[in-house]
């Protein structure tokens, strides 16, 4: 049991100043209300039952929950009902604002009904229809299939090998190949000088004419001791 005061508002909670007036001054009236904490919080209303009305209501209530909780609750409910009938004078009954034995308001009942329908629909959607198209198994390339089998057991060294493979693929595709393409373009399409050709001084033989001076190279002298 708890005792509460209703109507007495603390001005400090709403930004006001506490009143300094005495009991005869102007102040909000407060009344003390005593009752069960749960009853006061949920605004339950106390009601009285006769034995016949109680039996009828509890029988309907047990039927409504039998399909949800099963038969195991029926035995325990019967024992509680018998004890309640024995000490009916010491027991008080409280109903909610909907005055319903189940404790649910009409809005709560509608919400539960909608939830049940959505759950049934969700469960029905999980079942594949015979006409449901089934995607064929994805065909992997040999290299992808190899790495999938290789990484089934993810040990540290396997992860390191796979990371090194990924970095090497990145370096090959993003660094080496672009560098080779740029080198090829500059070598064969931009550079006008023949590549890898070194110009040397041409050889001069007897009888050749020097273009700059027009001089003719005389024949070489013959030596008597020279053998051919």
Tokens of 28: 């909000």
How much is the pLDDT for 103?
55
Task: Specify whether 146 is located in the same domain as 98.
Answer: no
Which tens digit of pLDDT belongs to each residue from 162-193?
999 999 999 999 999 999 999 999 888 888 77
The reply to whether 223 falls in a domain is no
Let me know if residue 167 belongs to a domain.
yes
Looking at the structure, tell me whether residues 120 and 149 fall in a common domain. Answer: no
DSSP-derived secondary structure for 128-194: PPTT---PPPPPPPHHHHHHHHHTSS--HHHHHHHHHHHHHHHHIIIIIHHHHHHHHHIIIII--SP
Q: In percent, how much of the chain has pLDDT > 70?
A: 52
Mean per-residue pLDDT, 129-153: 83
Task: Say yes or no: 111 and 40 in one domain.
Answer: yes
CATH, residue 72:
2.170.150.10
Q: Is 150 a member of any domain?
A: yes
pLDDT at 67 (0 to 100)? 63
According to the model, what pLDDT value does residue 90 have? Answer: 46
Last residue of a domain, one of 94, 126, 158: 126
**Domains held by the chain: number:** 2
Is residue 161 in a domain?
yes
Task: Give residue-wise pLDDT tens across range 87-105.
Answer: 555 456 666 665 555 555 6
Q: Average pLDDT of 11-37?
A: 56
**Residue-level pLDDT at 162:** 94
pLDDT at 187: 85
**12/48: higher pLDDT:** 48
Structural domain contains residue 27: no
Tell me if 90 is assigned to some domain.
Answer: yes
Please give the backbone phi and psi of residue 171, each rounded to the nearest 5 degrees, phi first.
Answer: -65, -40
Of the residues 126, 155, 170, the one at which a domain ends: 126
Strand partners, 31: 6
For the entire predicted model, the pTM comes to 0.29
Q: What domain range includes position 121? A: 35-126
Give pLDDT, residue 163.
94
One domain for residues 119 and 147: no
Map residue 51 onto helix, strand or coil. helix
Q: Is residue 219 part of a domain?
A: no
Kindly state whether residue 174 falls inside one of the protein's structural domains.
yes
The pLDDT of residue 108: 77
The mean predicted confidence, pLDDT, of the chain is: 73
pLDDT over 50 (residue 216): yes
Task: Determine the pLDDT at residue 177.
Answer: 96
> Could you tell me which residues come within 8 angstroms of residue 105 by beta carbon, excluding any fewer than 6 positions away?
96, 97, 98
28-82 pLDDT, tens digit per residue, is 555 666 666 666 666 666 666 666 777 777 777 777 766 655 555 555 555 555 5
Residue 101 sits in the same domain as residue 154: no
Same domain, yes or no, for 62 and 105?
Answer: yes
């Amino acid at each position: 049991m708890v005792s509460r005061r209703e109507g007495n508002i603390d001005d400090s909670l709403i930004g006001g100043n506490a009143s300094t007036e005495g009991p005869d001054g102007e102040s909000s009236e407060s009344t003390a209300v005593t009752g069960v904490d749960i009853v006061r919080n949920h605004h339950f209303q106390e009601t009285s039952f006769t034995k016949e009305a109680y039996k009828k209501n509890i029988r309907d209530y047990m039927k409504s929950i039998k399909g949800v909780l099963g038969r195991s609750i029926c035995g325990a409910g019967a024992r509680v009902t018998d004890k309640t009938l024995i000490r009916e004078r010491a027991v008080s009954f409280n109903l909610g604002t909907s005055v319903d034995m189940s404790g649910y308001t009409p809005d709560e009942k509608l919400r539960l009904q909608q939830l049940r329908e959505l759950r049934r629909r969700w469960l029905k959607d999980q079942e594949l229809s015979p006409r449901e198209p089934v995607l064929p198994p994805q065909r992997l390339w040999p290299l992808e299939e190899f790495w999938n089998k290789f990484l089934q057991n993810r040990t540290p060294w396997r992860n390191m090998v796979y990371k090194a493979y990924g970095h090497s693929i990145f370096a090959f595709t993003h660094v080496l190949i672009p560098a080779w393409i740029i080198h090829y373009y500059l070598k064969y399409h931009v550079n006008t000088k023949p590549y890898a050709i070194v110009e040397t001084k041409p050889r001069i033989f007897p009888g050749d004419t020097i273009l700059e001076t027009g001089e003719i190279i005389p024949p070489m002298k013959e030596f008597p001791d020279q053998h051919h």
